[in-house]
Amino acid sequence: MSITRRSFLKGASGTAVSGMVPLSLSLPMNSAFANTTNDYRAIVCLFLHGGNDSFNMIVPGNNDAQYTTARPDIYLSNEEKLSIPDSEAGQALAINARMPNLAEMLNQGQGAALLNIGTLVEPTNKQNLYDVKKPNNLGAHNKQQTAWQSSWGDSGYHPYGWAGLMMDVLSSGSVVSDSMSFSGNELLTGTISKDISLSSGEIKAMDALGHSNAVNNQFTALVNSPYGSDFKQTYNQHLKGILDFQTELQSVVDTYPEDSSIPSSSLGLQLRMVRRMMQAATDLGHQRQVFFVNLGGFDNHRSQRGRHDGLLETIDLAVSAFHRSLDALSLSEKVVTFTLSDFGRTIENNSNQGTDHGWGSNQLVVGEAVNGGRSYGRYPSFVRDGDDAWGNKFIPSQSSEQLGATLCRWMGLSEQGVDLIFPTLSPSHNNAFSSRYLGFLGDYLDKEQEAELPILAVSASETRVDHTPEMAIDGNLFTKWTAKGQGIQYLIELSATSTVTKLLYSQAKGDVRQYLFDVEVSNNGINFELVTQVLTPGNTTGFVEQLIGKTGVNFIRLTCNGNNGSDPKLVLWNNFQEIKVLGYTA
């Protein structure tokens, strides 16, 4: 690599973008909106065009009668699925058996499933479905593709992608864009940042250069012609600069050969080029890179099983091989691949052994940076028009923008930057999301600041005068709060809005029986998000640690449901000897 080439690629100034940019979306580079380190990081978006039936990708792990009843023609048998980590709510889950490599990665903590996630403007459930604002054109391919790739403003989706707005802040300023794609998209479009178009074998600076040799020769002769007006000569020089740029950039990429261990499928070839561009990052002056790859064929309204299973196998082979290949480059902890798709599919299969357009979906995030060992969120019940459904569609319980915000934060965007790009996630909303983030990239949490959080107040829906709620936070393991019944709620109010990393609790008789309780969090004490359903270990009266990983928390609610002890007279009793909340203030 010559100094001249390196200087050309790292030092050339970017092209200004004409037109007025809304002030609210003008994110200054190297400002309070960025909180980056000097390491390298990259995200790879794998967009599954057509609407992936992700509820036949991630499925119930047990013999779920609701699942098989809803999908009699397309359900996965026990032999056709592989176990993966449980949901945060403790539900057993599995992945389609045509994805064994990704199953292994998820079980090794190198990835996670995101459950029932979709496009939302505000938290939505069966009870408030007709009272909240919802995205426009649910079920429309083009509109929902836009919704996944952008973020909601005052009254509609921004004309920019959330990753493009992020790179407006984080971009290196190199003449070679830090954002690269293999197909048209909105995700990488910023107010300043634009993506460069790649193909699986070469750089496509101009479409003309992808044509025949005769066309290329005519084009080269045109730009080198010494004849014509001053305007024509100026324009020719501009085109010649583009030719020189492409030639120079291609020569950089050519120094990094393809990795043939990644399959030669359409998706695999895209990921081969992504790997080469990652290898060239230092030569290009990039510390942050964003890639958009794609795979089509997911709009299966009929005869779904064979085609869909084959597509999942293609994903499994290509993505797992790509991440294995990153190990040799010492990039395995620096790259996160994630899936997006138009929407999920319907709860029930149709009469043509296919599925129709839905709403909520499951997505995958893969990479050693992922906080694996669990699946994020709660898997919905397979009941048409049930508690988790709007007719034949699942109502998302997690927002696509929470996914985007989590990735942006990990890439180095500050809280201020996240607030500006994703205003719907602001905790100041009346109907606010319980957290901006989903927790699968806890690397953005500053673990060194973790400490016991001060508790402002506690209360309970049932109590005894000699075993009050305050006795569970008095620092004395010989006192306790107790109450009898199912659905008893113990409420903790923190002194300040906080990121809660862990809950520590101890229980009387915790060494001889297992207690059951749900953990929920909220920023306003009204709208609560279920974090997990706990079945205590039953072997200790000491402190037990429960991971939380939620930001923007003001309230924690523990809903107690008794215990599984052998004495039927005692199974409805609940207690906490002591409770501690760990994390740091927001």
- 17 — pLDDT class (breaks 50, 70, 90): very low
pLDDT at 196 over 70: yes
Of residues 586 and 301, the one with the higher pLDDT is 301
Q: Could you state, in order of their start, the residue ranges of all structural domains in the chain?
A: 40-201+258-444, 447-585
Please tell me the least confidently modeled range out of 1-15, 164-178, 193-207. Answer: 1-15
DSSP per position, 413-439: B-HHHHHHH-GGG-TTSTT--S-S--S
Mean residue pLDDT of the chain comes to 88
When computed from its CA atoms, the radius of gyration of the chain, rounded to whole angstroms, is: 26
Q: What is the pTM of this model?
A: 0.74
Predicted pLDDT of residue 252: 84
Work out the angle at residue 108's Cα, subtended by the Cα atoms of residues 274 and 537, and round it to the nearest 5 degrees.
Answer: 145
In one letter, which amino acid is 495? S
Pick from 250, 122, 150, 175: nearest CA to 7: 175
pLDDT at 238 over 80: no
Distance of CA 373 to the CA centre of its chain: 16
Predicted pLDDT of residue 275: 97
- 428 — pLDDT class (breaks 50, 70, 90): confident
pLDDT at 92 over 70: yes
Predicted pLDDT of residue 244: 64
Predicted pLDDT of residue 232: 62
Asked if 13 and 260 touch (Cβ cutoff 8 Å), the reply is: no
Please tell me the least confidently modeled range out of 301-305, 426-430, 470-474. Answer: 426-430
Quote the CA–CA distance of 582 and 449 in Å, as a whole number: 10
Q: Domain 447-585 belongs to what architecture? A: Sandwich (2.60)
Please tell me the least confidently modeled range out of 65-74, 117-126, 237-246. Answer: 237-246
- CATH topology for 40-201+258-444 is Alkaline Phosphatase, subunit A (3.40.720)
Asked if 315 and 53 touch (Cβ cutoff 8 Å), the reply is: no
In one letter, which amino acid is 144? Q
pLDDT at 206 over 70: no
Predicted pLDDT of residue 236: 62
pLDDT at 20 over 80: no
Q: What sign does the CA torsion over 514, 520, 525, 527 have?
A: negative
Q: For 484-533, what is each residue's pLDDT tens digit? A: 999 999 999 999 999 888 899 999 999 999 999 999 999 999 999 998 89
pLDDT at 2 over 60: no
Pick from 524, 501, 328: nearest CA to 426: 524
